[in-house]
Structure 1
C-alpha cells in the first residue's frame, strides 16, 4: 500500500482537496437560491440539470465503491502496482454525495417553479435512458466476471461523457438568447476554483509518489477538471464579455415619461 513520503505534501493534498470540495459544493447553491428568489427556472436549461444528475450519480458510484471496497482496491493495485495509492479521497466521496442531493433538488425546483414553455428535450431524455440501460447491462457482465474495477470504470467513463455533454445545452441556450439571465455565474466561478484546486490536489500526490499513475489511473477525475475548466471559461466569456447585463440594458429603448391630463 502506498504511503506519503512528505508530510508537507500530504497536508497540502488534504487542504487542496477540501478546498475543491467546498468550492464545488457551494457552487450548487447560487443557482438554487436564484431559482428560489425568482420563483422561476426560466433561463436555466433543463437538459443541463437532467444530464448533470446522471453525471454526478455515476461519479458517486465510482468514488464510493473505489474508496470503500477492498476488493476493488485490490484489483486497482494489481493493475497499477501494489505501492500505488488509491486515487480517490474522502473529499471526492463527500462532494459526489452532496452533488447528487443538490442536483436532485434543483430538478425538483424545475417542477414547482415557473418555467414558461421550457421543457426537457427528447434527446436528453433519450441519452439518459440509453446511459442507464447500458450501465445495467455492464453491471450484469461485471458481476458475472467479478470485474469490479472494470465495472466502476464504466461509471467513471459515463461521468466523463456526461461532463462533456451536459454543458452544451446551456452554452447553446445562452448563445441563442444572447443572454445568461437565469443562469447563475456564481456557480461557474466556484466550479472553476474547484477544478483548479482539484488538479492541484492530484499534482501533490503525483509529486510525492514520483508517479503520474494518479492522473491516468483516475482518468475520469482528470478529465472532469479539464472539461469543467474549459466550459467554465466559455460561460465566463459569455456572461462578462459577450452578453453582459449592462450591454443588454443599453439596448433597451428609452421611454419618455407619460403625461397625464386631469
Structure 2
C-alpha cells in the first residue's frame, strides 16, 4: 500500500480536502435558506435538482464503494499498481452523504413552496430513466464476473455526465429571464471554492507520489472539479451582469410622466406633513 513521502504535503492534502468538503457542503445551504425566506422556489430550475440528485447519488455509491470495499480496492491496485494510493478520501464520502441529504431537502421545498408554472421537463425525466435503467443493466452484467471496479466506474461516469449537463437548464433559464433572482450566488461562490481546493488536493497528492495516475485513476473527481469551476464562473458572470443590466433597464424604462407624478405625490404628502408639524416647507415641486 502506498504511503506519503512528505508530512507537510500529507497535511496540505488533508487540509485542502476538508476545505473542499466544508465549501461544497455549505454551498447547499444558501439556496435552502433563500427558498425558506422567500417561501418560493421560483427561479430555481427543477431539472437542475433532479439531475443533481442523480449525480450525487451516483457519486455517493462510487465514493463509498471504493473507500470501504477491500475487494474493489484490490481490483483498483491490480489495474493501476500496488504502490498507488486510493484516490478517495473520507471527506469525499462525507461530502457525498451530505450532498444527497441536502438535495433531498431542496426537492422537498419544491413540493411545499410556491413554484409557479415550473415543472420537471420531459427531457430531464427521460434522461433520468435512461440513466437508472442503464445502471440496472450494468449491475446484471457485472455481478457474474465480479467486475466491481468496472461497475463503480459506471457510477463515476454518471456523476461526471450529470455534472456536465445539470447546470445547463439553470444557465439557460437565467439568460432567458435576464435575471438570477431565486438562484443563490452564495451557493455558487462556495461551490467554486470547493472545486478549486478539490483540484488542488489531487495536485498535492500527485506531487508527493511523483505521478499523475491519481488524476486518471479518479477521472471523475478530476473532471468534476473542472466542470464545477467552468459553470460557477458562468453563473458569477450572469449574476453580476444580468442583474445589473435588468436593474438599469428597469430604471430607464419608467416613463418620465409617471416619474413626475410620483414625485408630485411625494411633494403633496410632504407638504401635508409640514403643515401638521407647523414648520416651513418649500416642497419638492420645484425639483420635478
Whether TM-score is above 0.5 comes out as yes
Q: Following superposition of structure 1 onto structure 2, how do residues 176-187 of structure 1 map, counting pairs within 5 Å? A: 176-187=176-187
1:177-211 CA-partner distances (Å, limit 9, x unpaired): 01000000100000000000001100111000001
Question: 1:8 Cα deviation (Å)?
Answer: 0.3
Matched, 1:132 2:132: yes
C-alpha contact 2:164 2:227 (8 A) present in aligned 1: yes
SS of 2:84's partner is coil
Distance across 2 between alignment mates of 1:187 and 1:136: 33
In structure 1, C-alpha distance between the alignment counterparts of 2:228 and 2:100, rounded to whole Å: 17
1:249 to partner: Cα distance: 4.7
**Counterparts in 2 of 1:58 and 1:68: CA distance versus 1, 3 Å:** same
Structure 2 counterpart of 1:247: 248
Work out which structure has the larger RCO, using CA pairs closer than 8 Å and 6 or more positions apart in sequence. Answer: 1
Match runs of 1:190-205 below 5 Å? 190-205=190-205
Deviations 1:37-95 (A, max 9, x none): 00000000000001000000000000000000000000000000000000000000000
Deviation at 1:241, TM superposition (A): 2.1
For the residues of structure 2 that align with 1:169 and 1:114, how far apart are their CA atoms? 19
| Higher alpha-carbon Rg | 2
Q: How much has 1:247 moved relative to structure 2?
A: 3.1
Contact 2:87–2:217 (CA under 8 A) maintained in structure 1: yes
TM-score, length of structure 1 as denominator length: 0.96
Helix, strand or coil at the partner of 1:41: coil
Q: Is the 8 A contact 2:180 2:242 kept in 1?
A: no
User: CA 1:161–1:251 in structure 2 vs 1: closer, same or farther (change >3 Å)?
Assistant: farther
SS of the aligned residue for 2:52 comes to helix
Q: How many angstroms apart in 1 are the aligned matches of 2:34 and 2:117?
A: 19
Partner of 1:70: 70
Unpaired runs of 5+ residues, structure 2, are 270-288
Which residue does 1:150 correspond to in 2? 150
Give 1:114's aligned residue.
Answer: 114
Give the alignment's Cα RMSD to 1 decimal: 1.5
Partner Cα distance (1:84, 1:243) in 2: 48
Q: Shift in Å at residue 12 of structure 1?
A: 0.3
Q: SS at 1:243's partner residue?
A: helix
Distance 2:34 2:59 in 1: 26
